[in-house]
Amino acid sequence: MNASLGRILGSGPSNVSVDNFAERLDRVTRSVCSHYNRDKGHDDQTRQRHALVVRGYNPREEMNAAARMLKDPEGLTATDSEWAVGSWWKPHLSLAFWALTIIRSPAKSVRQLNPDDKTELLALKADIDADHKWGDLRALIAGQTEWDAYESKNDPKGQLKILFVKLLSLADILCVTPSGSENDKDYREWKNREAKGIAVDEAANTNRADLYCVWGNTLLPCFLAGDPKQLPPAVLSAGVTDAEGNLFHRHVKDAKISALVFYQASGVPTYLPPSRLAHEGHLSVVELDGIEILT
């Protein structure tokens, strides 16, 4: 979708599903580019670039995490209850991750940029390396100055905010939860202005309200992926009553119909892997170079 349509908003029914979706998309884009570029020279203009995949979390938590990792590169590697109780933030592919990557942070949770990364991302890194306005930050990262000295002359969160805005504007694929795509202003604006398509993973576990929150009244192409034979959407209010025994939720059965199952029942074209067709239709399937083929 990204190759044919442009920028894509990715989502899923939970923070964990969105984390996994972003990780797989990043892994696949790098693997495909590596395979495509294998026999091409480093100066070959036809080399393919990695799509920039961003996993968007709560902006306030992103900022706090990035500032803490800027102060102490190894002080935060995952969700830390001391700074954000109940936070789902993780370093990998977050805005904090990419901001610290382009300024060459020594944190172990941050990767080094690859020559096949997005051209604009490499250009942003080069600008930061050359611009005197970022000199104090470069000195901090290089260990040439202490945090207190840097903070006394600069606004760490202000500089990080500049990087966040630039990085979000470069994202090819933004992965956020349904609530994040609507409640966080920066992500909502990206969805409304930049997204050319919607992709939802684990759609068989995604309720229709969440899908409509992500998709909205946009008429954008929408790709749903999931297994309708797995668990349906969770309805936490099922069976809950008030003091008089009245149900709070009287449409539980309807709420358990996922976005994927609803559209399948509506007649929307559905792809099933050959292994599933073989199982259901008593056909045989062989694998050739990792590709399943019906026979």
DSSP code string of 153-167: HS-HHHHHHHHHHHH
Q: What is the mean pLDDT of residues 74-78?
A: 60
Q: Is position 214 within any domain?
A: no
Q: Is position 120 within any domain?
A: yes
User: pTM to 2 decimals?
Assistant: 0.84
Q: What is the mean pLDDT of residues 137-161?
A: 90
Residue 162 binned pLDDT confidence (cut-offs 50, 70, 90): very high
Q: What integer pLDDT is reported at residue 293 of this predicted model?
A: 47
Q: Is position 212 within any domain?
A: no
Cβ atoms of 70 and 156 closer than 8 Å: yes
Given a cut of 60, is residue 189 above it in pLDDT?
Answer: yes
Among residues 137, 159, 175, the one where a domain terminates is 175
Residues 14 and 42 in one domain: yes
Domain count, the chain: 3
CA–CA distance from 282 to each of 201, 209, 229, 266, 278 (Å)? 28, 36, 18, 26, 5
Q: What is the mean pLDDT of residues 48-53?
A: 94
Query: Which has the minimum average pLDDT: 79-93, 169-183, 204-218?
Result: 79-93
Can you say whether the dihedral through the CA atoms of 144, 149, 154, 156 is positive or negative?
A: positive
209 exposure class (CB count in 10 Å sphere: 0-12, 13-18, 19+): exposed
Residues 251 and 282 in one domain: no
Tell me, what amino acid is at 97?
Answer: F
Residues 248 and 142 in one domain: no
Cα distance between residue 44 and residue 120, in whole Å? 17
Residues 138 and 54 in one domain: yes
Residues 56 and 163 in one domain: yes
Mean pLDDT of the chain: 84
**Phi, psi of 258, rounded to the nearest 5 degrees:** -75, 170
Cβ atoms of 266 and 259 closer than 8 Å: no
Residue 281 binned pLDDT confidence (cut-offs 50, 70, 90): low
**Phi, psi of 103, rounded to the nearest 5 degrees:** -100, 10
Among residues 175, 195, 219, the one where a domain terminates is 175
C-alpha closest to that of 8 among 183, 295, 180, 221:
221
Q: Is position 78 within any domain?
A: yes
Q: What is the mean pLDDT of residues 123-136?
A: 92
HSE-up of 39 (CA within 13 Å, CB side)? 0
Residues 234 and 286 in one domain: no
Given a cut of 90, is residue 111 above it in pLDDT?
Answer: no
Residues 146 and 290 in one domain: no
Residues 29 and 127 in one domain: yes
Residues 29 and 171 in one domain: yes
Q: What is the mean pLDDT of residues 83-92?
A: 74
Q: Is position 186 within any domain?
A: no
Given a cut of 70, is residue 273 above it in pLDDT?
Answer: no
Q: What is the mean pLDDT of residues 86-111?
A: 88
Q: What integer pLDDT is reported at residue 275 of this predicted model?
A: 55
Cα distance between residue 182 and residue 253, in whole Å? 26
- The residue segments making up the domain with residue 119 are 2-175
Residues 153 and 92 in one domain: yes
- In terms of DSSP bridges, do strands 53-55 and 173-175 run parallel, antiparallel, or are they unpaired? parallel
Residues 150 and 285 in one domain: no
Residues 164 and 131 in one domain: yes
Q: Is position 48 within any domain?
A: yes
Task: Determine the 3-state secondary structure of 258 from DSSP.
Answer: strand
